[in-house]
Amino acid sequence: MENLIKFLYEVSALKRIKRSGWWLEGIKDPETVAEHSYRTVMLGYILAKMEGADVDKVVKMCLFHDMPECRINDVPRSAIKYLNKDPIEKEVVKDQARLLPAQIATEYEAIFNEMDGMKTKEAIVAKDADRLETIIQAKEYSDMGFKGCDNWVEKNSMNLQTESAKKIAIELKKVSFNEWHRGMAKSR
């Protein structure tokens, strides 16, 4: 039980780890990895439903996809060129799994490795949820005046693979990030 508690405390580290790429755009207090992961899970659920994928599996992939960052931090894309991140992440997942009960550990490793392999429909949907979340966050920052984030929207949009994610990306570019709130005020 003590190891499980350690794992749960480790998960909370994601609430303090900032998404590092946003600092490169001048954002002084960017979102945390946990904040990114939360919306990624929501998007994973929606995309899985829209794409006819296994919702349970996609949601789990989205839930666990950034867990290695508890130990290796969020590495900006500009640094990936210099690092061999994949085997490091797999080693982190193995170490983290040792803290979990056996059946959970096995599932965690399998889910993470399936997403990393990008060979199944569910892995593709989960990756699109991850990219789409980055697109939405970039659009929000862009709408707030950080125009360098426009490039993030375009680059990540080009890498989307599912039709549903592509359609969402096209539409979100047309709507201001706070339009939902303005729309509520208009409806009264």
Q: Are 119 and 61 in contact (CB under 8 A)?
A: no
Name the residue range of residue 99's domain.
Answer: 2-186
Please give the pLDDT value at position 117: 95
**Distance between CA atoms of 129 and 12, rounded to whole angstroms?**
22
Q: How far apart are CA 56 and CA 53, in angstroms?
A: 9
Tally of structural domains, the chain: 1
pLDDT, tens only, 22-74: 999 999 999 999 999 999 999 999 999 999 999 999 999 999 999 999 999 99
List of residues 6+ apart from 164 with CB closer than 8 A: 46, 47, 50, 51, 128
Q: What was the pLDDT predicted at 181?
A: 83
Residue 186 is predicted with a pLDDT of 62
CATH code, domain carrying 170: 1.10.3210.10
pLDDT of residue 179: 87
- pLDDT, tens digit (0-9, with 9 covering 90-100), for 109-131: 999 999 999 999 999 999 999 99
32 - beta bridge partners? 18
Three-class secondary structure of residue 155 per DSSP: helix
* Confidence check: pLDDT of 154 > 90: yes
Q: What is the DSSP string of 89-149?
A: HHHHHHHHHTTS-HHHHHHHHHHHHHHHHT-SHHHHHHHHHHHHHHHHHHHHHHHTT-GGG
Q: What is the pTM of this model?
A: 0.94
One-letter amino acid at 176 equals S
Candidates 116, 52, 61, 130; CA nearest to 88 is: 116
In the chain, count of helices (H) and strands (E)? 11, 0
Q: Is the pLDDT of residue 188 over 60?
A: no
